[in-house]
């Protein structure tokens, strides 16, 4: 057991760390609160608003030694904590209740989009990690997946710029899809179940899936939401697989495999298991889901404070074309599978 002196030392270290990061964390949370307030008034995605607010402060925060440590902490640690809490949204019972066909469609769409989308990135001249980042964000759960994948991809000088671009891109395209896909399902003559599968299997972010699904009908909304949560559940194997692939590549190149095993995913799995076993009281589960949203929005605001508009412009039109192509890719895969299986 630790001695009294050791405990006092640890407590002092904790208090020192807390004082160091608190100003920046509070700034990120304040921006998150402002983004959520603007979302209520404007109806725009809170993550996109938080990014914009953060980027307005990029110059001031970069030079402010008081807030810089907390901004760094929020963009990494709070981000991972928020991703872990996403597990409180999902139960295995909900996934199984979808039946075999939706599971096959979803898994095939996610795997196909990541593999083909990454290949498209290489064909357009991007680094492999950038193609993986955008394809994974498109395939799984939009901004949340972009943030989770970014944490295990190799770090480079444009790493944060690429992450912000992926978040902005998938959030924007997700909003476009939310508006247009209900009309697409109607034009194709899909029933409510097929419409829900298409919407849940293709739109990037959870909020936009819910909006589009229930715009069709209650049944389509339910199916779309469950299908989307299955894609969220695939975040765990996808991130583990990406981390493993890049770790093996580092070893093959003779370097040290310094990509850490993403511990936050174990928290995600643990929460899914506890939620599936009905061991999380409903009031607590709702708090965890809400806290997850706050953590992710605050983390995005912090990322925005570290990324300049000038840096984003350097990504170029090819990157936009790649994200659009990956979005159309997952739509095409799901449509083809639904035509055959449903």
Closest residue by Cα to residue 167 from 282, 300, 68: 300
CB atoms under 10 Å from CB of 284, counted, come to: 11
- Look at residue 257 in the predicted model and tell me its pLDDT: 46
In Å, what is the CA distance from 156 to each residue of 153, 159, 243, 331? 9, 5, 15, 31
Residue 12, in any domain of the structure: no
Residue 148, in any domain of the structure: yes
Number of domains within the chain: 1
Query: Could you give the CA distance from residue 73 to residue 305 in angstroms, rounded to a whole number?
Result: 12
Residue 18, in any domain of the structure: no
Query: Each residue's pLDDT tens digit in the chain (342 positions)?
Result: 556 777 777 777 778 777 888 888 899 999 999 988 988 888 777 777 887 888 788 665 555 677 888 888 887 788 778 878 878 877 878 777 777 888 888 899 999 999 999 999 999 888 888 889 999 989 987 777 887 888 788 777 777 878 888 888 887 788 788 778 988 998 998 988 889 999 989 988 776 787 788 778 877 877 887 788 788 888 888 888 888 887 777 666 555 545 455 567 678 788 888 988 889 999 999 999 899 888 888 887 887 787 666 655 666 788 888 989 999 999 999 999 988 876
Query: Could you give the CA distance from residue 113 to residue 131 in angstroms, rounded to a whole number?
Result: 11
Residue 4, in any domain of the structure: no
Instruction: Encode 203-232: b = buried (16+ Cβ within 10 Å), e = exposed.
Output: bbbbbbbbbbbbbbbeebbbbbbbbbbbbb
Residue 219, in any domain of the structure: yes
Residue 39, in any domain of the structure: yes
Q: What are phi and psi of 204, to 5 degrees?
A: -75, -55
Residue 14, in any domain of the structure: no
Residue 233, in any domain of the structure: yes
In Å, what is the CA distance from 248 to each residue of 131, 137, 152, 242, 260? 18, 22, 13, 10, 12
List own/partner pairs for 311-320 with CB under 8 A and 24 or more apart. Answer: 311/158, 311/161, 312/161, 312/164, 312/165, 312/168, 314/158, 314/161, 315/161, 315/162, 315/165, 318/124, 318/125, 318/126, 319/126, 319/130, 319/134, 319/165, 319/169, 320/169
- Look at residue 109 in the predicted model and tell me its pLDDT: 92
Q: What tokens appear for 341 in the block?
A: 């299986």
Through-space distance between the first and last CA atoms of the chain, rounded to whole angstroms: 61
Domain span at 227: 23-341
- Look at residue 64 in the predicted model and tell me its pLDDT: 64
- Cα torsion angle, 313, 315, 319, 323, sign: negative
Closest residue by Cα to residue 265 from 298, 291, 290, 243: 243
Closest residue by Cα to residue 172 from 296, 45, 260: 45
- Look at residue 327 in the predicted model and tell me its pLDDT: 92
SS (H, E, C) 219-268: HHHHHHHHHHHHHHHCHHHHHHHHHHHHHHHHHHCCCCCCCCCCHHHHHH
Does the pTM exceed 0.75?
A: no
């Amino acid at each position: 057991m630790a001695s009294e002196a050791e405990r006092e030392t640890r407590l002092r270290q904790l208090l020192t760390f807390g004082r160091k990061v608190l100003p920046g964390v509070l700034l990120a949370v304040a921006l998150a609160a402002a983004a959520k307030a603007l979302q209520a008034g404007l109806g725009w995605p809170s993550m996109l608003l938080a990014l914009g607010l953060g980027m307005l402060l990029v110059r001031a925060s970069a030079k402010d030694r008081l807030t810089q440590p907390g901004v760094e902490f929020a963009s990494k640690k709070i981000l991972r904590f928020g991703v872990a809490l996403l597990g409180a949204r999902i139960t295995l019972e909900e996934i199984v209740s979808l039946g075999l066909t939706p599971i096959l469609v979803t898994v095939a769409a996610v795997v196909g989009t990541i593999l083909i989308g990454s290949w498209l990135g290489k064909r357009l001249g991007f680094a492999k990690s950038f193609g993986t980042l955008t394809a994974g964000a498109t395939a799984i759960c939009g901004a949340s997946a972009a943030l989770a994948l970014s944490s295990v991809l190799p770090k480079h000088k444009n790493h944060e710029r690429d992450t912000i671009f992926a978040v902005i891109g998938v959030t924007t395209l997700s909003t476009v899809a939310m508006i247009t896909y209900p009309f697409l399902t109607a034009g194709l003559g899909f029933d409510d179940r097929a419409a829900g599968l298409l919407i849940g299997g293709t739109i990037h972010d959870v909020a936009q899936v819910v909006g589009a699904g229930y715009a069709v009908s209650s049944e389509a909304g339910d199916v779309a939401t469950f299908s989307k949560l299955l894609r969220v559940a695939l975040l765990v194997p996808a991130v583990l697989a990406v981390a493993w692939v890049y770790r093996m590549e580092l070893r093959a190149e003779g370097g040290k495999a310094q990509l850490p095993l993403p511990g936050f995913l174990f928290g995600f799995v643990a929460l899914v298991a506890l939620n599936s076993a009905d061991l999380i009281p409903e009031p607590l589960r709702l708090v965890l889901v809400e806290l997850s949203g706050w953590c992710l929005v605050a983390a995005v605001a912090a990322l925005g404070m570290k990324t300049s508009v000038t840096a984003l412009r350097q990504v170029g039109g090819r990157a936009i074309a790649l994200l659009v192509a990956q979005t159309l890719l997952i739509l095409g895969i799901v449509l083809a599978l639904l035509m055959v299986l449903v």
